[in-house]
């Protein structure tokens, strides 16, 4: 346990796809949803684990997580990050938590 090197929490942007589950609160006809989340962690793997655990506690059914990296990594990739997004990231870091910034329900027919 290296007490001389404090762990540096960072905020990661994650896109989580969820399926349907009883009590998930999604609209009736939705087949699932995408959630844009900002999650703090010492690394992206920890941020993903925390996010999945919290979504499961909220009766959601996470299927897939896509990580977009930290704010710095996203800027380096050319992502535009607005003030609102930066504020949510700062809040996730301050509270050492997961912030769900956006939920987009999917409506699709199952015959593809």
Which of helix, strand or coil describes residue 1?
coil
Q: Which residue has the tokens 């909220």?
A: 58
Report d(CA 105, CA 29) in Å as an integer. Answer: 9
Annotated domain spans of the chain:
10-106
Considering just the CA atoms, what is the radius of gyration of the chain in Å?
15
pLDDT at 104 over 90: yes
pLDDT in tens, 24-83: 999 999 999 999 999 999 999 999 999 999 999 999 999 999 999 999 999 999 999 999
Say how many C-beta atoms besides its own lie within 10 A of residue 48's C-beta. Answer: 20
């Amino acid at each position: 346990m290296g007490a001389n090197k404090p762990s540096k929490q960072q905020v990661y942007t994650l896109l989580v796809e969820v399926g349907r589950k009883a009590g998930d609160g999604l609209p009736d006809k939705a087949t699932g949803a995408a959630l844009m989340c900002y999650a703090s962690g010492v690394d992206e793997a920890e941020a993903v684990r925390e996010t999945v655990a919290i979504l499961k506690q909220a009766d959601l059914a996470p299927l897939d997580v896509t990580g977009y990296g930290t704010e710095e990594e996203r800027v380096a990739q050319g992502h535009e990050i607005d003030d609102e997004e930066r504020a949510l990231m700062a809040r996730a870091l301050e509270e050492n938590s997961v912030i769900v910034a956006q939920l987009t329900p999917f409506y699709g027919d199952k015959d593809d």
